[in-house]
Structure 1
């Protein structure tokens, strides 16, 4: 069996699986990175809110009235250790700053919410992003608001930077891992499709002599097994029909031989010479047709061994000598040209001789008297038969190897089987018949693999 090959075509099962899995991998990488990013961002936002609230509570506890009745923030260890990214301030209902840990306002007071409940907020200025916490506090008979603001763009604040870097670098870490998973998946799918590819290779390379070969279903995946079973059933039906047709042809040919032999004997009793000659010609043609039918049935059956070592030059010389009388009776000439040294090929000598004889007979039958026929053997294993007859029409060149096809159906000197037999013999030897024709020249050639 040939080595496994998995075809990566646009319509192949493997390419479709990998394409959709690749889309899923990219989507998963982005989704995982985005999901983790959102989770961490939400967690960081919660911690940030809690941090601001704790600072606001500490500031609320440190509120004091000064000697002149002004609001003050009492110095405490917590306030003195406040990070540089934070600022504290106390505001009244009109937005006036009553006390502050910073001489300048980080966020304009009109953008700070002052509601009846603690409020978390975020603001963006031209140069930075801020988050804050505004807490209403009853103090000295009125309500003031303790406001804690944090600069999120300050170098000391690294949480947002970490989150941004995680999303970028996390994507570049997760995506290669998922792509590696895609490569592993490709290997797994290829392994899984191995039996399917083996089955397709088996079917593709089936020869007409391998009539009993079927797709092995045991190793196939369960999803493909019904298809293989259906193909095997179809092969059974086709081969049964093929065998019935082949057996009918062989049986009919055998049954016709005896009546033809009896008719040949009885035709001798016909007294009229012209009628007797015409009947003999018709019976000879019928006999040739029956013989060719038997040959077709034989070639469609079990072929003989193809391992003879054959000198193509010697076989051609012998065949030309045997058929020369037929050629000369038709007032035609025949010559053997080409290599003067042995040309060694492997196959069945009798079948190759039969193919060569068929090509010569075809040239004799379809060319007029005075035609020159040439049998050529080349050292590269090409066996050719040339004639200088009228040639074959271009529209008919693809049809000449079909069984029972005849270019001129008004004549009864051909059954249309000769070239079909030649083509079948060439196929059995791993060769193919080629045709090159034009007005005044026709060349049939068979190229056999040469043995070194």
Structure 2
């Protein structure tokens, strides 16, 4: 829009410059054309006698006082083919045809200039046709009255007209360009809106090229081709990750079998721990590849209580091995969630496993479930606030990193939550780390700034480890 405005201002400036350069010749042309036009108009009111000779002007249209009052500024003649005057607006004085100085009468000379009594005049000659013969009407107007009228009336009116025309033109131009550009760019805005709806999880979607104007179809097609290449690259990456993980599982199992056949000593124990750690990382890579593909999810209405209880029972044994107390409290008014049952199991398992591994022996890990989501709360050291945004980065581990972790567990949780359009929020409680999962309908928007409430309703408590009195006190 600014480029159009600048172009219009430059055009107006060039127009003003051209008008300044052509003002004098154009003004002279207008003057000559005007005098000739006036002469032609007056010839229609020439009065002829019965023999067809001019005897004067029609008083009803050309009043006699006009030329008497302006006799020094305007004059008229009617002459024959030889230049003999047969009528003059100045009887007794104007007895000669109007001709340029030193020239003879020439009927073909339409406009000319001459001097009368030292006053520059502009003259015009027009033919008057009649059956009895042809006559020539001559009109002369002084240059000084023309200049006076031009400076008094003509130029101000002309400048006002030019300025008004330019202002109207600019206004019309801006309004027209605004409406035209808005209409012309509407398909581009629609294409942009379609493109914004495409996310890394919807790379299979394409812009509909047929519904857009022919002018932007090449851009839409190029964008779709870019998405094709991006989708192919992403698919190749995921397939490689999945294939590599699958291929590594077998050699790791064989290595473990070979190690187990060796002598039972401290070296074998360390080797088995390394193999188990590698197998865990391979399994997590495979899981990450699977949860990153939207088509792997089967979203349906499920009762979360069964999955939550199953995860709690499974992780209870892990908590016992780490000497951690694991507590569960589940609201009585739970309703169905829209979720993939296996993905929900993996998400809860990873959250609880992460909390257990970062809690000291004798600490308590709480899983609290309510209709709007769930909270996993531990009593570990917590995470510095500046590191909270990086918790879900792949392969990232904090300064207090553990040797048995790959940095993929929370990344898997994040992928699952994103696929379900849930929100997973980490926060420090002052006594450990809390992971809050906000559950929302699959086809509904995720609320902004809403959090799972910290205060839970007073409901029953379960424990897989000794110390139920301690858990009751904590709840």
| Pairwise same-fold verdict (TM > 0.5) | yes
CA 215–384 in structure 1, closer or farther in 2 if over 3 Å, else same: same
CA contact (8 A) 1:436 1:443 kept: yes
CA distance in 1, matches of 2:401, 2:226: 40
CA contact (8 A) 1:22 1:182 kept: no
CA contact (8 A) 2:297 2:343 kept: no
Q: CA deviation at 1:424?
A: 0.7
Q: CA deviation at 1:34?
A: 9.7
Residue 19 (1) aligns with residue 2 (2): yes
Q: CA deviation at 1:423?
A: 0.9
Q: Describe the SS at the equivalent of 2:377.
A: strand
What's 1:256 paired with? Answer: 248
CA 284–177 in structure 1, closer or farther in 2 if over 3 Å, else same: same
Residue 284 (1) aligns with residue 267 (2): no
Residues 80-101 of structure 1, C-alpha deviations (whole Å, 9 max, x = no match): 32387885499xxxxxxxxxx9
2:66 aligned to 70, 74, 81, which one?
A: 81
Q: CA deviation at 1:327?
A: 1.3
1:80-159 equivalences under 5 Å are 80-82=65-67, 88=73, 135-137=114-116, 144-146=117-119, 148=142, 149-150=144-145, 159=154
Q: Describe the SS at the equivalent of 1:244.
A: helix
What's 1:360 paired with? Answer: 352
Q: CA deviation at 1:414?
A: 1.0
What's 2:333 paired with? Answer: 341
CA contact (8 A) 1:85 1:154 kept: no
Q: Which moved more, 1:224-233 or 1:291-300?
A: 224-233
CA distance in 1, matches of 2:174, 2:338: 52
Q: Describe the SS at the equivalent of 1:163.
A: helix
CA distance in 1, matches of 2:211, 2:366: 55
CA distance in 2, matches of 1:328, 1:212: 45
Residues 362-392 of structure 1, C-alpha deviations (whole Å, 9 max, x = no match): 111122212221223344x343222121112
CA contact (8 A) 1:307 1:346 kept: yes
CA distance in 1, matches of 2:102, 2:356: 114
Query: Which stretches in structure 2 are left out of the alignment for 5+ residues?
Result: 41-58, 76-89, 91-99, 104-111, 121-141, 445-475
What's 2:173 paired with? Answer: 178
CA distance in 2, matches of 1:209, 1:158: 74
Q: Describe the SS at the equivalent of 2:246.
A: helix
CA distance in 2, matches of 1:315, 1:238: 36
What's 2:396 paired with? Answer: 405
CA contact (8 A) 2:300 2:338 kept: yes
Q: Describe the SS at the equivalent of 2:296.
A: coil
TM-score, with normalisation over the residues of structure 1? Answer: 0.64
Residues 250-286 of structure 1, C-alpha deviations (whole Å, 9 max, x = no match): 2232233334444555555445264554444444333
CA distance in 2, matches of 1:215, 1:52: 68
CA contact (8 A) 1:304 1:348 kept: no
Q: Describe the SS at the equivalent of 1:293.
A: helix
1:370-381 equivalences under 5 Å are 370-379=362-371, 381=372
CA distance in 2, matches of 1:397, 1:287: 27
Q: Describe the SS at the equivalent of 1:81.
A: helix
CA distance in 2, matches of 1:231, 1:86: 81
CA distance in 2, matches of 1:279, 1:145: 126
Q: Which moved more, 1:442-451 or 1:221-230?
A: 221-230
1:177-196 equivalences under 5 Å are 177-191=172-186, 194=187, 196=188
CA distance in 2, matches of 1:227, 1:237: 15
CA contact (8 A) 1:360 1:385 kept: yes
Aligned residue pairs: how many?
A: 366
CA distance in 1, matches of 2:388, 2:68: 95
Q: CA deviation at 1:444?
A: 1.9
What's 1:13 paired with? Answer: none
What's 2:422 paired with? Answer: 431
CA distance in 1, matches of 2:29, 2:427: 82
2:361 aligned to 355, 361, 369, which one?
A: 369
Q: Describe the SS at the equivalent of 1:434.
A: strand
CA 86–254 in structure 1, closer or farther in 2 if over 3 Å, else same: farther
TM-score, with normalisation over the residues of structure 2? Answer: 0.61
The structure showing larger relative contact order (alpha-carbon pairs under 8 Å, at least 6 residues apart) is 1
CA 117–329 in structure 1, closer or farther in 2 if over 3 Å, else same: farther
CA contact (8 A) 2:73 2:145 kept: no
CA 306–29 in structure 1, closer or farther in 2 if over 3 Å, else same: farther
CA contact (8 A) 2:67 2:74 kept: no
CA contact (8 A) 1:434 1:446 kept: yes
